[in-house]
Amino acid sequence: MIIDIMKMKTVAKSNFVLLFFMMKTGLSHLWAFQEINSQGPGTPHQVIVIHITQLTQDNYNDSLAAQAFLPIYNLEKRKEFARELKHFYDAKGLEIDFAAIPRDSNYTDSLTLKQEFRLFPKKYPEIYLKKYGDAWYYSEETSLRIHSLYREVFPEWADEILHSLPSSSSEKYLGIALWQYIAMAIIVVLIFLLHLILSWLVDKVLEKSVWEKIHIGRQHHKTLYKLAKYVSLIMLMALIQRLIPLLLLNLNVSAFLHKTADIIQTIFIVLASLQVVSIIKIYLLLAAEKTETKMDDQLIPLLMKSLKIIIGLVALMHMLSLLGVNVTALIAGASIGGLAIALAAQDTFKNLLGSVMIFLDKPFQIGDFITTPDTEGTIEKVGFRTTRIRKIDTSVIAVPNGNLANATITNLGIRKFRIMELNLSILYSTPSAQIHDFLEELRKIPPANPSIQPDTWMIYLRNLAASSKDIYFRVYIEAADFKTELSIREHIIFNILQAAETAGVSFAYPSTSLYIEKTEVTRHWAEK
C-alpha cells in the first residue's frame, strides 16, 4: 500500500512537471503531450516536438527529450542521443518545418510504402522517424549514426578547447557569448590571411598549367588571377562552413550564417565558372585563328554566351532552393509557361533553329559573298536570330535565320577559282595568218600569269558570226575576293589588248553592211 502511494506521488509529480513545461513552451504544444503514454509518442510530429522543445535554453529537460528515442537504450544513452542530435541540428543550421511533419499516427511514406518519415531526405536521409508498434521514435539506424554525425561537426579537440575556456568567457552580450565574439574575430583574421596565401598559390598553379600547357599568352594574366581569387574564396567559404558549428551558436543564427555562406559560395562558384568560360573562349579563339573558316570566330562567342546563360540559370535555381523556394514546382510552372511562349513566338524559335542549322551545315562563312532569291551581299555577322549581310551599295540587311536556312543560297565566296570568259570578235577582213599569230599571242598569257589555273584554259577560234570572226577565251582565276578578281581581270585584258597590237588585229563591233543593186534608175541618178 505504501509503495502504491509513493508511485502515485511520483506520477503526480511527473505530471506536474510535464504541465509546467507545457505551459512554459506554450499552449500550442499542449496536444503534443496529451496522447503520450508509457509506450511513447503517438505521431511523428510529437516525436520532434518532444525532442526539440525540451532542449531549449529556457526549457531544458533532457529526460523528457529522451522519450523521442527507442526505449531499448537506457535513459542516459537516450539523453546523450537527444543532446548530440540537437547540437547537430543547431550547428548545421537545420531548421525543422513543424507544419510539414505528419500528425497522423498511421502515416505511410508514399514512395517506400513504409511507416517512416525523413526530416532531411536530400541532405541527411539517415535521419528519420519510424513507427515501432503503436509509437513513433527516431529510428534505430538514426540512433546509431548520431554520434558519428556529432563528431563530424564537433571533433574531440574542439570539445577539449571548449571545456578549457574560463567561465568569464561565457558571459553573453546580445545573446552571444564573449568567447564566440573572440572566435569570430579570429576566424575573420585567419580567413583574410589564408585568402592572400591561397590566391597567390592557386595563381601560380594556374600559371603553370594554363600558360605552359594551354599556351595562353601572358596578356590574359588578369583573367587567370581573377579565377585564382575566386577559387581561393570558394575554398575559404567551405572552411567557414566547417568552422561555424564550432561556435555553438543558436539554431536561428547558425541557420542564417550557413544559408548566407551557401549563397556567397554559390556566387563565387558562378564567378569562377565565368572566368573558366572566358579562358576556354580565349583558347578556342586562338585555335580558330589557325583555321581557314571564319565561322568559328562567330560560333565561339555564341557558344560561350549560351554557356554563361546556362551557368546563370543553374546558379539561380540553386540559390532559390537555398532560400526555400520549391524549384521543382517552379520549373514545372516555367515549362507550362514556356510552352505557351513557344506557341506565341514560333518565328523566334524558327530563327533560333535556323541559326543552329547554319552553324551545323556551314553554307557560308564570314566574308563570303552570297546571292539568294531576295538579296545578295557579303556576310558580316551570324547571330542567334538574324544574319547581317552588307549589300553592294554598303547598306546592311538583317535576314532572319529561319528564312535563310530554307533559301537557295549561291555562295560566291567559297569558289576555289573564278571563271573569266570572253568572246573576242575580230574583223572579217583580218587575214588568217594574222589570226593565227593573234591566237599564239593569246595562248602565251595563261602560262605567264600565276593567278590563272594551268591546264584549264581554252583559247580557240570558235565561230564565224554575222559580222566578225569570234575567238573563245576562257581561263580560271585564283582570287580570294572580288577586288582581287577585278585586279587580275584588268591585267589579263591589258595583255589581250597588247597581243592584238602585236599581231596587228583589230576588234570588230556589231555592224550591218548595206549592198545596193545597180539598176537603170540607180545608173541614171549616178550619171547625174
Q: Hunting for cell 558549428 — which residue is that?
A: 245
Q: Is 339 among the domain residues? A: no
Residues 461-502: tens digit of each pLDDT: 999 988 889 999 999 998 877 788 889 999 999 999 999 999
* Bridge partners, 473 (sequence order): 422, 459
- Give dist(CA 114, CA 207) in Å, integer: 55
Specify the amino acid at residue 207.
E
Ordered alpha helix ranges (H), 139-294: 140-153, 156-164, 178-206, 221-243, 251-288
In terms of domains, do 195 and 319 share one?
yes
Show the cell assigned to 315.
Answer: 546558379
497 and 386 in one domain?
no
Same domain, 320 and 379: no
**Highest-scoring range by mean pLDDT, 272-286, 321-335, 357-371, 418-432:** 418-432
Is the Cα torsion angle 172, 175, 180, 186 positive or negative in sign? Answer: negative
Q: How far apart are CA 76 and CA 72, in angstroms?
A: 12
The identity of residue 7, as a single letter, is K
Last residue of a domain, one of 367, 390, 411: 411
Q: 190 — phi, psi (to 5°)?
A: -60, -45
Domain that holds residue 34: 20-153
CATH of the domain at 395: 2.30.30.60
Q: Which three cell numbers stand for residue 455?
A: 591546264
Q: Which distant-in-sequence residues (6+ apart) come within 8 Å of 102 by Cβ?
A: 43, 44, 45, 117
Residue 465, SS3 per DSSP: coil
Residue 160 included in any domain: no
For 35, residues 6+ apart whose C-beta sits below 8 A from its C-beta are: 41, 42, 43, 46
d(C-alpha 348, C-alpha 345), whole Å: 5
Check whether residue 433 and residue 310 sit in a common domain.
no
Name the pLDDT band for 216 (thresholds 50, 70, 90): low
Largest pairwise CA distance in the chain: 176
CA-CA distances (angstroms) from residue 103 to 107, 119, 351, 458?
Answer: 8, 14, 54, 96
Exposure class string for 1-25: b at 16+ Cβ within 10 A, else e? eeeeeeeeeeeeeeeeeeeebbeeb
Is 428 found in the same domain as 403? no
Looking at the domain assignment, is residue 522 inside a domain? no
Domain boundary among 411, 434, 454: 411
With respect to residue 509, please indicate whether it lies within any of the assigned structural domains: no
Task: Report yes or no on 243 lying in a domain.
Answer: yes
Residue 403 domain-assigned (yes or no): yes
Residue 289 belongs to some domain of the structure: yes
Classify burial at 85, counting beta carbons within 10 Å of its beta carbon; exposed 0-12, middle 13-18, buried 19 or more: buried
**Mean pLDDT over all residues of the chain?**
78
Question: How many whole angstroms separate alpha carbon 451 and alpha carbon 24?
Answer: 99
320 shares its domain with 237: yes
Of 118, 153, 188, the residue that ends a domain is 153
In this predicted model, what pLDDT tens digit does every residue of 95-136 receive, in sequence order?
A: 888 888 999 999 999 888 899 999 988 888 999 999 998 899
Do 468 and 402 share a domain, yes or no? no
Q: What integer pLDDT is reported at residue 490 of this predicted model?
A: 94
Helix axes 221-243, 251-288, angle to 10 degrees: 160
3-state secondary structure of 459: strand
Domains of the chain: total? 4
pLDDT number for residue 217: 57
Please check the confidence at residue 68 and state whether its pLDDT lies above 70: yes
Distance, in Å, from the CA atom of 415 to the CA atom of 368, rounded to the nearest integer, reads 9
Whether 368 contacts 358, CB under 8 Å: no
Phi, psi of 173 (to 5 degrees): -130, 120
368 shares its domain with 286: no
- Taking Cα atoms as reference points, which of 419, 409, 339 lies closest to residue 379? 409
In this structure, the answer to whether residues 228 and 305 fall within a common structural domain is yes
* pLDDT value of position 527: 61
Opening angle at CA 43, ends 41 and 48, nearest 5: 75
Q: Which pLDDT belongs to residue 348?
A: 66
* One domain, residues 302 and 202: yes
Residue 259 has pLDDT above 50, yes or no: yes
Same domain, 476 and 407: no
- Going by pLDDT thresholds of 50, 70 and 90, the confidence category of residue 331 is low
Grid cell locating 490: 584588268
Sheet of 369-371: strand order equals 396-400, 386-390, 376-382, 369-371, 410-411
The reply to whether 184 and 317 lie within a common domain is yes
Do the domain assignments include residue 139? yes
pLDDT digits (tens, 9 = 90+) for 425-465: 999 889 999 999 999 999 999 999 988 888 888 999 999 98
What is the torsion angle, in degrees rounded to the nearest 10, for the CA atoms of residue 334, residue 339, residue 341 and residue 342? 130
